Structure 1
Amino acid sequence: MTEPSVPQEARPWLTIVGIGEDGRDGLSPAASAALDTAEVVWGGRRHLALAAPLAAETYVWPSPIGEAYPKILARRGRPTCLLATGDPFHYGIGAEIARLVPPAEIRAYPQPSAFSLAAARLGWPLAETACLTLHGRALTRVIPALQPGAKVLVLSWDGSTPAAVASLLVERGFSRSRLTVLEAMGGPRERIVSAEAAGFHHQAIDPLNTLAIEVVAEPGARVLPLATGLDDGWFESDGQLTKAEIRAVTLAALRPFAGKLLWDVGAGAGSISIEWCLRHPSNRSLAVEARPDRAERIVRNASSLGVPERVSVVEGEAPAAFAGLQPPDAVFVGGGVSHPGILAAGREALRSGGRLVANAVTLESEAVLLAAFAETGGDLRRLSVAKASPVGGLTGWRQAMPVTQWIWTKP
């Protein structure tokens, strides 16, 4: 029986080669052969220099790198090679290309990642180490990983990143944390320097560096707890804030799952959006807020709490502001419940199986939730919190305004 033929364009034509600072010497025979037989090779200037000599036509990655993708795809079926640093599928170009080209058309030859090399140099168990990148990303992304006793590996943006991280650590109460900078690992320029954050003054750091952090939290350090319900004082606010106890219950009602998108409607200080994103590094939120001053405040809060790129602010009045937004996996309505059409628009936008949670403190808003409950079902509950407070020279309970909460799941 004859095997079915495979269309030429569906066969592997695109090769992704991870290359280290040892250049050609570190490549496998198969990876070297892919470079030698390619008609075109794409890579950074450093990658192309490390892979030299090359007989193929060479192209340097443009900025932004996405401008190269149509040119690569136009060569479908013809031998093409992409060069990347180390493991192309760990914060590398491999993951981006695999979204555009079927895996059956790709051959990949990874090298040890910078994380693997750093762990080997330091003797750290990689499975127990937080690995993240600040390459082209906000510095504050490191904040959630700053847990007492944690080990963190960070891909730096450039030679200034280690000093910037050191300043951030000192500012947040981690000044005794040890920073180790591993430069140009695996090649002749490799160098390792180390110092505590408070005394980090190393100069002329190679732009190609990986930063290792051994986290030491001083008393009073701003450590993000793993539970929901951050202290209200962690958020810059004008009073429009879902308070910590109610926020914890609300997040539990929203049931965050990894990789899901939240619409936070009437976001106020953005506390629900931020805590949603803190539950998993792949979670995202669209914070819908009508007031410009509050919209700016959400951006500041998201940055200070380590999720700057995952909370996106949509400035405008709901439900009109929903137009064109990506459908959500969950919707929280914390402000504007009584505004006509918000709940209906949120229910309509939800993906199947998604949850809508709405909180109300006024009688008018509560009436809207009661009507929604009567019409479509779901769960309705009242939340009440009392805190001990001085009463003259004694102490008594001071009741906060009760919150009516409606939870609805889309069939």
Structure 2
Amino acid sequence: MITVVGIGADGWTGLPEASRHALETAEVVMGGPRQLDLLPAHLTAERVAWPSPLLPALPALMDGHAGREVSVLASGDPMFHGIGSTLVGLLGAARVRVLPHVSSVSLACARLGWPVERVEVVSLVGRPPQTLNAAVLPGRRVIVLGAGREAPSLVAGLLAGQGYGPSPITVLSDLGADTETAQRGTAETWNEPAASALHVIAVECVAGPEAEPLARVPGLPDSAYEHDGQLTKREVRAVTLARLAPIPGELLWDVGAGAGSIAIEWMRSHPSCAAVAVEHRADRAAALRRNADRLGVPSLRVVEGRAPAALDGLPAPDAVFVGGGLTTPGLLEHCWERLGPGGRLVANAVTLESESVIAQWYGRLGGDLVRLAVQRASPVGGFTGWRAAMPITVWSLTRKDVPK
């Protein structure tokens, strides 16, 4: 049994009796150097500082101390972006006992008077900073977990770059300790590091005149994307994502991704949604990556190559969108075979040849077949008329007990 003890910046004095007892009876205490330094000298346990990098070394480290009473120190709540979650994933919940402390987010909200349930939390620890972009919307309160004393300046730069320069920022350092401090400013004027490496960044998002708020629901404006015309247009994109039906924690394959709009908006629907965008043209793949960064999903995986060969070795998807290459031999077969029960396949066709492929699959497996025709108002001389976009055929199917 591994006991994970949450500890705050107030150290030993802030620990409840159960946490102190676990550390006093442990044979080994593991943690970061800063956490280990918070322990009193009278503890007899062997102190083991985390190696770097930690995650690759963790299994061998646990095996090396098997059979001993081991306590692990974690900042605040170990199950909130902490080592507790990692150890449960590695060892199983039955082998890990967690004694949580108050999280830094709860302490920050208490200081600011913010209801915790109305705050969005974004961790940039070990993640690209552009992850914050998706959470920045007018009126939202966001607490950012940063890494390093320069994190507030990085966050301020991201906010100002999106037109949210007037947003108030409060940096709370050493929460709960005698050295606790609060630094205040705005994104457009921020120019100082955090007082301590142990800090959180509280942001009240205020849009400046140049900001372009982007909703989290599908159907972002086409202008939100850098593209060369290879883009699933706004109205069709909204229908397509409704058919793909993203569920938190699921993985999408976006095959023939172009500008990446389907994969990006799939991931924007929930922070736990993941996607792989497959695109064979290097210039489009590069633009796709820039789109993902700007729209707050930098963890989108981009695979450069031609499907179906480029799909080999990818983790099995929960949903697949085929936006290009429908006439490629074996492509739909490969995608269909990789889907498990409940998996969704959506394919969009714009040419007669790709429609023919869809019609054959529809005739064999069924599903839902819809043709979308979109018209947009545009000038006709001194008047206004309708201009029709090319119609799109959308075929969608959920894998149940369907014959192959």
Give 1:373's aligned amino acid: Y
CA deviation string 1:258-305 (max 9, x = no partner): 111000000011100000001111000011111122222211111110
After TM superposition, give the deviation of residue 204 of structure 1 in Å.
Answer: 5.7
SS at match of 2:272: coil
Q: Is the 8 A contact 2:152 2:193 kept in 1?
A: no
Q: Secondary structure at the match of 1:100?
A: helix
Of 298, 301, 318, which residue of structure 2 is paired with 1:312? 301
Q: CA deviation at 1:228?
A: 1.0
Match of 1:243 in 2: 233
CA distance in 2, matches of 1:366, 1:124: 53
The within-5 A match list for 1:3-402 is 13-53=1-41, 54-66=43-55, 67-203=57-193, 205-309=195-299, 311-402=300-391
8 Å CA contact retained: 2:6, 2:77:
yes
Q: What amino acid maps onto 1:405 in structure 2?
A: V
Judge conservation of contact 1:160–1:205 (CA < 8 Å) in 2. no
What are the superposed Cα offsets for residues 117-159 of structure 1, whole Å, 9 maximum, x if unpaired?
Answer: 1011111110111112111211111112212111111111111
Partner letter of residue 60 of structure 1?
A: A
Structure 1 residue 307: deviation in Å? 0.7
Moved over 4 A (4+): none
Give the SS at the match of 1:286.
strand
> Are the aligned partners of 2:244 and 2:344 in contact in 1 as well (CA < 8 Å)?
yes
Residues 87 and 96, structure 2, Cα contact 8 Å, conserved in 1: no
Deviation at 1:21, TM superposition (A): 1.1
For the residue of structure 1 that corresponds to 2:37, the secondary structure is helix
Give me the whole-angstrom Cα distance separating, in 1, the residues matched to 2:286 and 2:329.
25
Query: Alignment RMSD, CA only?
Result: 1.3
Are the aligned partners of 2:151 and 2:193 in contact in 1 as well (CA < 8 Å)? Answer: no
Distance 1:205 1:69 in 2: 35
Distance 1:276 1:327 in 2: 16
Q: In 1, distance between residues paired with 2:193 and 2:96?
A: 41
Match of 2:301, SS? strand
Letter in 2 for 1:385: V
Deviation at 1:180, TM superposition (A): 0.1
Greater mean alpha carbon deviation, residues 320-329 or residues 214-223:
214-223
- Partners of 1:395 and 1:84 in 2: how far apart? 64
Q: 5+ residue gaps in structure 2? A: none
Question: How big is the shift at 1:22?
Answer: 1.2
Q: TM-score, normalised by structure 2?
A: 0.96
Rounded to whole Å, the distance in 1 between the matches of 2:285 and 2:242 is: 25
Give the counterpart letter for 2:39 in structure 1.
A
Cα distance in 2 for residues equivalent to 1:374 and 1:103: 48
Matched residues in 1 for 2:39 and 2:101: separation?
13
**In structure 2, what residue type is equivalent to 1:96?**
T
How far the C-alpha of 1:222 sits from its partner, in A, is 2.6
> Which residue identity lines up with residue 17 of structure 1 in the other structure?
V
**Offset at residue 166 of structure 1 (A):** 1.1
Give the whole-Å Cα distance in 1 for the aligned partners of 2:90 and 2:381. Answer: 69
The answer on whether the counterparts of 1:265 and 1:334 sit within 8 Å (CA) in structure 2 is yes
SS at structure 1 position matched to 2:158: helix
Code of the aligned partner of 1:268? G
Identity, % of aligned pairs?
50
Gaps of 5+ in 1: 1-12
**SS across alignment from 1:119:** helix
Offset at residue 70 of structure 1 (A): 2.3
Q: Tell me the CA shift for residue 386 of structure 1.
A: 0.5
CA–CA distance in 2 between the matches of 1:203 and 1:21? Answer: 19
Once the two structures are TM-superposed, the CA of residue 77 in structure 1 deviates from its matched residue by 3.6
Matched, 1:409 2:371: no
SS at match of 1:96: helix
